[in-house]
Amino acid sequence: MPTPDYQMPNADGRFGEFGGSYVAETLTFALSQLRDAYSRYRHDDAFERERKNILFEYVGRPCPVYHARRLSEQYGGAQIYLKREDLNHTGAHKINNAVGQVLLARRMGKRRIIAETGAGQHGVATATVCAREGLPCVIFMGAEDVQRQMPNVQRMRLLGAEVHTVHSGSQTLKDALNEALRDWVTNVDDTFYIIGSVAGPHPYPMMVRDFNAVIGEECLKQMPEAAGRHPDTIIACVGGGSNAMGIFYPYISHTDVALIGVEAGGSGDAHCLHAATLSHGRPGVLHGSLSYLLQDEDGQVLATNSISAGLDYPGVGPEHSYLKESGRATYAAVSNDETLAAFDDLCRLEGILPALESAHALAHAKKIAAKMKKDNIILVNLSGRGDKDLASIFKAKGWKTE
Ligand SMILES: *Cc1c(COP(=O)(O)O)cnc(C)c1O
């Protein structure tokens, strides 16, 4: 179990055996340049002041923690608090990371930004901060995702980004990622690649965690004010794992706070399609780092499925693999149906439409709250708002939209 002086990753970007940097030779220079720049600026006062100021006046931080009283009563046990990342500008936690990386790009003198996106949320966050900085940006997106996520594609275009449609492979996120890496290799002199979760080669998992750690840092102050003490349990959904690492990280040394990550269980059957990497995968290399991975016996990456596009990824950030193996965090999966039920609960009992990703965390809170006492406290990271998911939800409910 990690000690109070938790220091991860090591100099090679390892979280225990996980992480590292498994990339083609052509990228090693770009990555070492990035590592040097990040180690120079991560503790730089002027950099930190500027980053915190943008989070304050542009993103709208700090966002509140909210005691969901009616939801707590309905679930019949522990008191449930929500960290309201859904109230950030652009409606999710992803902008925390985009702000940090764009500032770093500017410090490094990079004049062009690229990113990949699946559901489009990271693309929108990146296009947003690039508009604010006046930097040109290219977003790589699989053709399949461009079709499915047209409103986000149009949002990115409105923000001035170029959306580059990727037609190779399965035409989804992992192909967009490969294409973005190819672009980076070719244009490495003037281009900065913003990865959107705690995945990829070192230093990305550490850097994206650090830029999202503001979530947990705020909670460390807010929970004693709102509830009189720290929570007993923190729950967050896990796709790549950035919102979860953001809220977990400042609490890792608080060993009396239980940390639970919730993955997409899809239809609920482990033998069918899902995206529960830590629950059902085993270690392997994907997109530049060693971590748990959904793969078949031959090491072929498996297709995934979830009602929530943001959790629909066969890999997971290496620090989560480490937290799982060390026992400091535990991981569970909930099904699409459990997620939709929790989505309805929050809409009707609290007047909040959560993102389907975040509704996974709520669904797990529902399962464990009933077994806890009335004076126990669960803090759920409400990673985003649900407006982007309305089409999927109407479809799941069989509602007509015209
Ligand atoms: C992208 C996204 C996620 C999943 O990404 P993580 O890196 O696991 O946090 C979760 N919630 C929302 C609202 C998202 O947009």
Query: Which helix (H) or strand (E) covers residue 80, if one does?
Result: strand 79-84
Q: Which atom of ligand 1 is the closest one to the Cα of 208?
A: 7
Helix then strand count (H, E) for the chain reads 16, 14
Judge whether residue 5 has pLDDT over 80.
no
Beta partners for residue 264, in sequence order? 275, 334
Closest residue by CA, ligand 1 atom 10 = 357
DSSP structure string for 72-128: HHHHTSSEEEEEEGGGSTTSBTHHHHHHHHHHHHHHTT--EEEEE-SSSHHHHHHHH
Is residue 338 among the annotated active site residues? no
In angstroms, the CA 17 to CA 218 distance is 30
Judge whether residue 383 has pLDDT over 90.
yes
**Token pair for 201:** 């080669």
Largest CA distance in the chain: 57
Judge whether residue 402 has pLDDT over 60.
yes
Ligand 1 neighbours, Cβ below 6 Å, are 92, 94, 121, 197, 237-243, 310-311, 355, 357-358, 383-384
Q: What's the pLDDT band for 148 if we cut at 50, 70, 90?
A: confident
Average pLDDT over residues 149-165: 96
pTM score of the predicted model: 0.96
Active-site pick, 21, 85, 94, 174: 94
- Answer yes or no: are the C-beta atoms of 361 and 262 closer than 8 Å: yes
Using CA atoms of 227, 231, 235, 241 in order, give the dihedral in degrees to the nearest 10. 110
Question: At CA 312, angle to CA 141 and CA 177, rounded to 5?
Answer: 35
State residue 4's pLDDT score.
57
DSSP structure string for 353-401: -B-HHHHHHHHHHHHHHTTS-TT-EEEEEE-BBSGGGHHHHHHHHT---
Is residue 94 among the annotated active site residues? yes
In angstroms, the CA 59 to CA 61 distance is 6
Closest residue by CA, ligand 1 atom 2 = 310
In angstroms, the CA 50 to CA 100 distance is 9
With pLDDT > 70 as the criterion, what percentage of the chain qualifies?
Answer: 99
State residue 366's pLDDT score.
98
- Answer yes or no: are the C-beta atoms of 378 and 364 closer than 8 Å: no
Closest residue by CA, ligand 1 atom 5 = 239
Q: What's the pLDDT band for 2 if we cut at 50, 70, 90?
A: low
State residue 3's pLDDT score.
54
Residue 161 DSSP class: P
Average pLDDT over residues 229-249: 98
Average pLDDT over residues 208-232: 98
State residue 175's pLDDT score.
87
Mind listing the pLDDT tens digit for each residue in 164-206? 999 998 888 888 998 999 999 999 999 999 999 999 999 999 9
Query: Which helix (H) or strand (E) covers residue 329, if one does?
Result: strand 329-334
Ligand 1 centre to CA of 402 (Å) is: 29
Is residue 221 among the annotated active site residues? no
Ligand 1 centre to CA of 383 (Å) is: 6
Judge whether residue 1 has pLDDT over 60.
no
Q: What's the pLDDT band for 155 if we cut at 50, 70, 90?
A: very high
Strand order through the sheet with 65-67: 65-67, 79-84, 377-382, 233-237, 258-264, 329-334
Active-site pick, 21, 72, 83, 116: 116
State residue 305's pLDDT score.
82
SS3 253: coil
- Answer yes or no: are the C-beta atoms of 151 and 389 closer than 8 Å: no
Residue 231 DSSP class: -
State residue 312's pLDDT score.
83
Nearest to 207 by CA among 253, 249, 172: 249
In angstroms, the CA 71 to CA 79 distance is 9
Burial (CB < 10 A; 0-12, 13-18, 19+), residue 67, is middle
Handedness of CA 21, 26, 32, 37 (dihedral sign): negative
State residue 288's pLDDT score.
93
The upper half-sphere exposure of residue 326, i.e. CA atoms within 13 Å in the direction of its Cβ, equals 20
Using CA atoms of 70, 370, 328, 315 in order, give the dihedral in degrees to the nearest 10. -80
Mean of the per-residue pLDDT values of the chain: 95
Ligand 1 centre to CA of 25 (Å) is: 30
Mind listing the pLDDT tens digit for each residue in 272-307? 788 899 999 999 999 899 999 999 999 888 888 888
Q: Which atom of ligand 1 is the closest one to the Cα of 91?
A: 13
Q: What's the pLDDT band for 249 if we cut at 50, 70, 90?
A: very high
Query: Which helix (H) or strand (E) covers residue 137, if one does?
Result: strand 137-142
